[in-house]
Structure 1
Amino acid sequence: MKLSWTSSFRAVALMGATATATNLYVSSYGGTITSLSLAVSNDGTYSLEQLAVNDGAAPSPSFLLLNTENNILYATDENVDGGNGSISAYTTSSDGSLTRIDRQPTLPGTVHLAFYNDRKNLVIAHYSGSSVSSWAIQPNGSLSHLQSFTFTQPPRPNPRQDSPHPHGVFLDPTADYVFSPDLGADQIRIFHINKKTGELDIFPSLNVTSESGPRHATFLTTADDTTYLFIINELGNSVSSYKIEYEAAGPQFTEVSWTGILGNNTIPANVTAAEIVITPDQKYILTSSRGDSLFNLTDPLHTSANLTSDSLQSWTIDQKDASLSLDQIFPAGGKIPRQFSINKNGTFAAVGLQGSARVAIITRDEVTNKFGDIVAEFDVPGEVTSIIWDADETEVVHYY
């Protein structure tokens, strides 16, 4: 299946536009965190410019998280060649420079992190380490280790599920629980938060469809205070949703919806679903898939070359039952859109393209839920693993 899209790379004109800029931070398996400036000129033309490069989280920076209250940036190092990982903390500056204030060794395979307990604590998912760890954040932003939970299981039929592989950590809307999708175990692991100590207690897990391989998650709380969990499943190439009811024994789940990552369209071989984000207005879900190669574009950075692109998907949430309807499949701007984030107004998506060693900025209409144009791209050495907006633009979409 190939989808058509006009492959021109053009600026978007803004009525009454003035010259403004915002910063973004990009992690890469090349060993660096790159600070970029996204600027829009008076004529509405967008551009990305490199401000600074920091190698303090080498060798394999895998995910970034910014505390928007004190502008401290946290970076995980997965250390993909083996051995322990690490987590680093940095102060940020408007010129894009980062100053490291702490670095702590971790269990292997640090791939994702989230704040909890009013940002007094951090929790980390360790993919290759089959673990989840908790950390205390000191007043200056430095870290101290609290707990580690290491999980075991016999190998499952899918070779990607040879052992537990926690792939993400997410604070639920009550701020009482941390949810961790475990790709290797087909579980969402549940941890209750002790708000006095910051420690986590293991609660019964949610068992999901066999060989679905849950990767990341997000939440919706509707106007009538019903809470839903949305999961993107890497191995099953699907998005599933569950109604959550909170009881004394912990969260209880009822599955309410399932859809393929490309809706009713055929999913090409070797595709793996990647990221899921809920929009700031809580009306829409955005996702990405890697390896579908649905689009052929003219490369905006090398105009004589063609560019094969994987896709992003936009979905409308039915507020009555949390089912999803596909609105659009749109080019991600390159290969392997491992991660993306949206700005606080929901009008831009910043996409980290691992396979293209590139980031792309894409406009989005927050009313129609349609992506519009790829307005800026920038090549970053190595395999891009994450991209986030600076404090003045970041919308908190992975924690509450």
Structure 2
Amino acid sequence: MGGAQSTDHSGGHRAWIGSFTSGGGRGITTAAVDPATGALTPLTATDVLPDPSYLAHDPRTGVLYAVSEGEPGAVGAFEATADGLRPLGPAVPVGGCGPTHLSLAGDRLLTANYTSGSISSLPLAGDGAPGGPAAVLAHRGSGPDVDRQQGPHAHQVLPDPSGRWVLATDLGTDSVRICAAHPATGSLRVHSETALRAGTGPRHLAFHPGGEVAYVLHELEPQLTVCGWNARSGRLEPLCEVPLASASAPGGVRAYPSAVVASPDGRFAWAAVRGADAIATFTLADGARKPRLTGTVPCGGAWPRDLAVDPSGRRLYAANEHSGDVTWFDVDPVTGEPRRAGSVAVPAATCVVFG
């Protein structure tokens, strides 16, 4: 988020919504964002890339990137125009299966390949188009959950705030790997690995804006692990766990946390919980290392796969996959509580990013 913002022909800002085409989604939907209300208005959609479940926008070039969450997996790049998205060439293989996340790290594009349990690094051309072959780092290990942790399952990969390191959360090995990139080839090597509690399934990580604390959200157990981050040494240290007890699903339905985000001003954090279909709010009034769960609200639909904060920090967006909609919330500036403000139908919605 941040950086220069794209505008559409109506004069507002743009957002892009990913979805599962295999689940009836339209691929990538381009939407206008009303700057006064935060409302999304779909403009165009493209399904040239199958299952673009996660997106990333480069504010430097204006290029939009998307995974193709299939077997084998691939990535696509698009130029945003007044008429929609124009592909920057064909999709590029990532050398792994089931990519669930991608991010930008300098002149490289990174993907986390869930099914194959690996992370990939691809070079970017001058116009932002990704190329190959991908440099692939395979994870090793497993966890105690025989159904979900029979092997590694990389779920997210992103650079740290300093830009020196790459962190990858692995649901299958209950760990976060900290990697360094080769300056010439962009290939990744493991610098250190932080073990988290067995069977919890770390899925998603978000840094506090201060850059010295990271929040790891677990999918197999509803909890948040607070970690100290040292960019000088490339070390991630678990400090404490914060249960999401009040976000447990009713009627014995299992809760599956999906995404965590922090507010740009560093005062709040939020987590989406599938099953419970809720958004949990944490206050950081006691400091970044001491988040306190203050309550939960309904996500506005079913199965919130991802959360996004708009660039202003005043609104929160939930991509509700099973109900097929994106719901937006106004954030209370005092308490951080999200207050539902509207929604728009987007079949099989999985992700929202802003330009």
TM-score (norm 1): 0.79
Alignment of 1:222-371 (within 5 A): 222=210, 227-246=212-231, 248=233, 250-253=234-237, 255-263=238-246, 268=250, 269-292=253-276, 310-318=277-285, 320=287, 322-371=289-338
Check the 8 A contact 1:166/1:181 in 2, yes or no.
yes
Assess, with a 3 A threshold, how the Cα gap between structure 1 residues 149 and 278 changes in structure 2: closer, same or farther: same
Report the Cα offset of residue 152 of structure 1: 3.4
Map of 1:33 onto structure 2: 28
| Amino acid paired to 2:212 | T
Residue among 372, 380, 388 paired with 2:339: 372
Shift of 1:267: 5.1
2:82 is aligned with 1:86: no
Q: What residue number does 1:384 align with? A: 349
Q: Structure 2 counterpart of 1:33, which letter?
A: I
The code of the aligned residue for 2:16 comes to Y
2:156 alignment partner, SS class: coil
Aligned mates of 2:241, 2:13 — CA distance in 1: 37
Counterpart in 1 of 2:66?
75
Give the paired residue count: 337
- Closer, same or farther: CA 205–49 of 1 in aligned 2, 3 Å: same
Name the CA distance, whole Å, in 1 between partners of 2:296 and 2:144: 32
Max Rg structure: 1
Q: Supply the distance in 2 between the matched residues of 1:45 and 1:387 (Cα, whole angstroms).
A: 17
Report the CA distance between 1:354 and its aligned residue. Answer: 0.5
- What's 1:136 paired with? 123
- Structure 1 position 94, deviation (Å): 4.0
Q: For residues 20 and 328 of structure 1, what CA distance do their matches in structure 2 show?
A: 36
Distance of aligned partners of 1:134 and 1:46 in 2 relative to their CA distance in 1, 3 Å threshold = closer
Q: 1:257 to 1:317 in 2, by over 3 A?
A: farther
Structure 2 counterpart of 1:56: 48
Give the superposition deviation at 1:193.
2.7
CA contact (8 A) 1:180 1:189 kept: yes
Residue equivalent to 1:115: 104
CA distance in 2, matches of 1:247, 1:99: 40
Q: Is residue 24 of structure 1 aligned with residue 19 of structure 2?
A: no
* TM-score, reference length from structure 2: 0.88
The 2-side partners of 1:359 and 1:281 are apart by: 24
CA apart distance, 1:211:
0.5
User: SS at the partner of 1:160?
Assistant: coil
Residue in structure 2 matching 1:206, options 194, 201, 204: 194
From the superposition, tell whether residues 154 and 199 of structure 1 become closer, same or farther in structure 2 (CA, over 3 Å). Answer: closer
Identity %: 23
Query: 1:189 and 1:270, CA in 2 relative to 1: closer, same or farther beyond 3 A?
Result: same
Counterpart-to-counterpart distance in 2, 1:156 and 1:322? 28
Q: Which runs of 5+ in 2 are unaligned?
A: 1-9
**Alpha-carbon distance change, 325 to 385 in structure 1, aligned in 2, over 3 angstroms:** same
Q: Which residue of 2 aligns with 1:125?
A: 112
Give CA-to-partner distance per residue, 1:166-211, whole Å, 9 cap, x none: 0001211221111111001101011013345433221121010000
Q: 1:173 aligns with which of 137, 142, 161?
A: 161
RMSD: 2.2
Q: Does 1:162 align with 2:150?
A: yes
Shift of 1:48: 3.5
